[in-house]
Structure 1
Amino acid sequence: MNATNTRQPRTTSGASLAFLGGADTVTGSRYLVTDSTSRVLVDCGLFQGFKVLRQRNRAPFPVPPSSIDAVVLTHAHLDHSGYLPALVRDGYRGHIYASEGTAALCRIMLLDSAHLLEEEARHAARHGWSRHEKPRPLYTVDDAKAALERFVAVPEGEAVSLAGSMTARLLGAGHILGASSVYLDVDARRVCFTGDLGRSDDPLMRAPHAFEGADVLVTESTYGDRRHAKVDPEEQLRDIVNRTVHRGGVVLIPAFAVGRTETVLLHLSRLRERGAIPDVPIYVNSPMAVSVADIYRNRPEQHRISKDEVERIYDLATFVRSVDESKLLNLRGGPMIIVSASGMLEGGRILHHLRAYGPEHRNTIVLTGYQAGGTRGDRLLAGERSLRIFGNDVPIRAEVAMIDAMSAHADADDLLAWMKAAPHPPQAVYVTHGEPSAADTLRLRIERELGWPARVPDQEQQVQITEHHAAAHAMSA
């Protein structure tokens, strides 16, 4: 794919902000800030979920990648970083600024993403389940390697000059290792991008850094219309494991390889230590999770668990490395526990396990976090009991359980509490990175409870950020 689209933001006086992604969905975060001489992109994520969203990944980027001077990342999850290999392939030549933790995780995640995309294209070509005669990956491992060469690690809190008048600081956001909120200064104005905020009571990650205030706030709204259940996720997991093991079944836990796998292992370790669950085999089938383990070991200042407990959670499970070992798990049968990526059942080895164990009623599929609309996880939660996997319809007779309280995202109350720490109210708040209902519900709460002007922007909408009141403009077609 070549970026031939030459659409440009409509010319405005002063600096502007364009929402190139994350504006009408919970994925694909991409925010373009422009001053009189330069362009900076905050986040460069993949769209996930519904096909109409995923197709945006194949469309030319809304502005020529070569016209962008710098990229800043809030964190490593693919809906915030996963389009970078395509951006660099199609002409971006600037630096990619990220926290040290995010840079380390992206070295693993972008290569893994590219490998899976290549593998999926090969599988589709071999088995003929793609509509394309010659399926091609969105990007390749070589594209990912080229993107990684452009990373610059930025220490937390240190100001970095990006381009033109723009400088940035990154402050911890909780959520996962390296996750940051980005404070971007442009033309004497400050714009804060929350990124994905973590929870103040997360068992694994430290609480987000307090909001320091900004003229313009761009906030996520993943859980903007709900509160996390006041239940103990560890006790929920205990009950699920015990009843599944009693049936002789397999507990299948789709989990993001970064953050969620560690949280799941932490709870399983504590349950095992106090004898609350049986001593059944536990497997982590995610090559990425093996690599991520060292990053958690080497960055104790970013999480809550002690060095001894870090070692215990990684000693708890057998880490599956080879494809042959992965295939053998599908022949083993229960009782056992398998933790494998991806968390929304959209790719990776979990799909092979789902195909093997989903049709059996003794087994349990445990969803442990947000399921974006249109993903297989979302369809399971909605009650569908047949999933399309590798071109075939697979019946799902296994129990489906949800542990929402294990989410690493701030809920609506957490987001409002974080905002209230501001020393002065922002002049404009833009509510992004949420499904329409979640974003609009949070917008209304911000207006009613904080008295701040808030709006939900449209995809590719552009706003001015250097006027007293930010005025909205549509991007030119």
Structure 2
Amino acid sequence: MKKLEVHFLGGSGTVTGSKFYLHTEEVKILVDCGLFQGLKELRRQNWERLPVDVSEIDYVLLTHGHLDHCGYLPLLVRHGFRGKILGTAPTLEIARIILEDSAKIQEEEAEKANKEAYSKHDPALPLYTEEDVAFALNFFEQIEEGEKLSLSEHCDARFFYNGHIIGSTYIEIDLHGKRLVFSGDVGRQEDELLNPPKQPDWADYLFVESTYGDRQHPDEDVAHILTGLIRETLSHRGTLIIPSFAVERLQSLMYQLWKLYKKNRIPNIPIFVDSPMGNNVLEVFKDFPNWHKLTPEEYRNMCNHITLVSSYAETWETIDDTRPKIVIAGSGMVTGGRVLTYIKQLGDMDTTTILLVGFQAEETRGRKLLEGATELKIYGKYVPIKAKLYHLESLSAHADQGELLTWMGSIKNIPEKVFLVHGEQEAMEVYKKKIEERFNWNCHIPKMHEVVEILL
């Protein structure tokens, strides 16, 4: 009888930092390698070494390229990993863009903190550098969606399209006759840009995300809400700031706004996209047309309708532009990036509107805004917030409770165990009850750093 140890090194009891380590005598695999975001006690763990020998890891399998699934890779390599980092071609391209951007922001913020002396650390240091990222990229190796990969004599893996963002997949690992399925982040059944997620038909052990395990997305008329907010912005001669995740959400917003203009539902209000990373992701949409719904003509027309901001000087020009305007800027949880400059300069005006369009993790500035914060700490100083706040949950790239149940409902067998991951505790508790009621499956909510032993 062979033995498998599963180490829950992240994405356990929390939405961020996904890392699931599979340890056998034959092969050692890390599924995802993400950074923690949000709560300070979680973010501190980004600075700590993993409690396993990373030099032994043979493969990292990436479900997709978001920071909370790939952002720890430069540190993994710095600490001795020399195996292969496998993912679909668009996932690896997205991961490269996100890691390079992450390192750049960290280096810039460390430099700013040292210059303005607002950090408790002396000196303030970046978590990793652009040089660290460049070295980590040497271990990237692309795979084809649906292709069977032999990882060892008794271990195969396959990656299947699951929506969420461009390149995103769930992963099946067949190990000594047992199938482990890692959902990654499951996309929506109906999405403006992406096709519905494919579904697994068999799982002996299922590791499923539960970000929205406790709720359904509201049935919102997104076009109607956007139209109303834009008319209000025009009437007040203000600014509509939309903090956005640079991958898929930003492109989806661009597409929605372009469609509204094309249908004469909104006037030709200036729209600025200020996200160097988001601009780079647009190139990924151009390079991988088979991974999304946009035609080349739609892509071209959408890009031509919107002003892409590249330099920081242009950010200030956009802020100083007195016309009513829409600004879409990273990051989606208001944790960093160019959106901080806009909120710092314009957030204390009652003519400003801030529209949040995705999940906001605990202790992020986005969550604080949702909870009614009247000030935000930005670059070491507290900024008063007088802007009106709106939240569009239906624009989330994550499947809700009903869509997650539909996704796993295609599994023909009864899994030996279902592990609920990538969710806040309350959401997972609700989702656990729902799965047990619907399928009568054995569910477990693993704790951070828990080790589960499976006999194969």
Given the two structures, how large is their TM-score scaled by the length of structure 2?
A: 0.98
Deviation at 1:448, TM superposition (A): 0.8
Task: Give the stretch that moved more between structures: 21-30 or 311-320.
Answer: 311-320
1:449 and 1:123, CA in 2 relative to 1: closer, same or farther beyond 3 A?
same
Quote the residue 1:131 is aligned against: 120
**Which letter does structure 1 place at the counterpart of 2:405?**
L
Query: 1:339 aligned to 2:328?
Result: yes
Structure 1 contact 35–164 (Cα < 8 Å) conserved = no
Structure 1 contact 38–164 (Cα < 8 Å) conserved = no
Deviation at 1:239, TM superposition (A): 1.0
Aligned-partner Cα distance in 2 for 1:27–1:45 = 7
* Equivalent residue pairs, number: 456
Deviation at 1:163, TM superposition (A): 4.3
**Which letter does structure 2 place at the counterpart of 1:146?**
F
Structure 2 contact 35–70 (Cα < 8 Å) conserved = yes
Structure 1 contact 40–71 (Cα < 8 Å) conserved = yes
Quote the residue 1:9 is aligned against: none
Structure 2 contact 7–449 (Cα < 8 Å) conserved = yes
Structure 1 contact 47–53 (Cα < 8 Å) conserved = yes
Name structure 1 gaps, 5 residues minimum: 1-11, 468-477
Quote the residue 2:343 is aligned against: 354
Deviation at 1:321, TM superposition (A): 0.9
Secondary structure of 2:326's counterpart equals strand
Aligned-partner Cα distance in 1 for 2:167–2:228 = 32
Within-5 A mapping of 1:409-420: 409-420=398-409
Within-5 A mapping of 1:361-372: 361-372=350-361
Secondary structure of 1:201's counterpart equals coil
1:382 pairs with 368, 371, 374, which one? 371
Deviation at 1:313, TM superposition (A): 1.7
Aligned-partner Cα distance in 2 for 1:235–1:27 = 32
Structure 2 contact 20–32 (Cα < 8 Å) conserved = yes
**Which letter does structure 1 place at the counterpart of 2:272?**
Y
Structure 2 contact 49–79 (Cα < 8 Å) conserved = no
Aligned-partner Cα distance in 1 for 2:152–2:378 = 45
**Which letter does structure 1 place at the counterpart of 2:86?**
Y
Given the two structures, how large is their TM-score scaled by the length of structure 1?
A: 0.94
Aligned-partner Cα distance in 2 for 1:163–1:108 = 30
**Which letter does structure 2 place at the counterpart of 1:111?**
E
Task: Give the stretch that moved more between structures: 270-279 or 39-48.
Answer: 270-279
Deviation at 1:164, TM superposition (A): 6.0
RMSD: 1.2
Aligned-partner Cα distance in 2 for 1:252–1:341 = 10
**Which letter does structure 2 place at the counterpart of 1:387?**
L
2:431 pairs with 442, 445, 449, which one? 442
Deviation at 1:162, TM superposition (A): 2.6
Aligned-partner Cα distance in 2 for 1:168–1:83 = 22
**Which letter does structure 1 place at the counterpart of 2:59?**
A
Structure 2 contact 7–20 (Cα < 8 Å) conserved = yes
Quote the residue 2:188 is aligned against: 199
1:224 pairs with 213, 222, 227, which one? 213
Identity %: 39
Task: Give the stretch that moved more between structures: 276-285 or 347-356.
Answer: 276-285
1:451 and 1:139, CA in 2 relative to 1: closer, same or farther beyond 3 A?
same
1:273 pairs with 255, 258, 262, which one? 262
Aligned-partner Cα distance in 2 for 1:307–1:212 = 34
Aligned-partner Cα distance in 1 for 2:355–2:272 = 15
Aligned-partner Cα distance in 2 for 1:447–1:434 = 17
Aligned-partner Cα distance in 1 for 2:424–2:211 = 7
Quote the residue 2:103 is aligned against: 114
Query: 1:428 aligned to 2:428?
Result: no
Aligned-partner Cα distance in 1 for 2:309–2:118 = 28
Structure 1 contact 15–186 (Cα < 8 Å) conserved = no
Quote the residue 1:310 is aligned against: 299
1:152 pairs with 136, 141, 144, which one? 141
Aligned-partner Cα distance in 2 for 1:350–1:110 = 18
Q: In the TM superposition, what whole-angstrom CA distance separates every residue of 1:442-475 from its partner, at most 9, and x where no partner exists?
A: 11111111111111111111112335xxxxxxxx
Within-5 A mapping of 1:16-415: 16-163=5-152, 165-415=154-404
**Which letter does structure 2 place at the counterpart of 1:418?**
W
Q: In the TM superposition, what whole-angstrom CA distance separates every residue of 1:130-164 from its partner, at most 9, and x where no partner exists?
A: 00110100000011011111000000011222346
Deviation at 1:257, TM superposition (A): 0.9
Secondary structure of 1:58's counterpart equals coil
Q: In the TM superposition, what whole-angstrom CA distance separates every residue of 1:90-143 from its partner, at most 9, and x where no partner exists?
A: 111111000111011112111111111111111111111100110100000011
Aligned-partner Cα distance in 2 for 1:436–1:54 = 18
Aligned-partner Cα distance in 1 for 2:113–2:153 = 45
Structure 1 contact 237–403 (Cα < 8 Å) conserved = no
Aligned-partner Cα distance in 1 for 2:214–2:356 = 19
Structure 1 contact 216–465 (Cα < 8 Å) conserved = no
Aligned-partner Cα distance in 2 for 1:384–1:333 = 27
Structure 1 contact 69–163 (Cα < 8 Å) conserved = no
Structure 1 contact 70–163 (Cα < 8 Å) conserved = no
Deviation at 1:242, TM superposition (A): 1.1
Task: Give the stretch that moved more between structures: 327-336 or 277-286.
Answer: 327-336
Aligned-partner Cα distance in 2 for 1:371–1:235 = 23
Secondary structure of 1:339's counterpart equals strand
Secondary structure of 2:46's counterpart equals helix
Aligned-partner Cα distance in 2 for 1:357–1:166 = 54
Structure 2 contact 27–151 (Cα < 8 Å) conserved = no
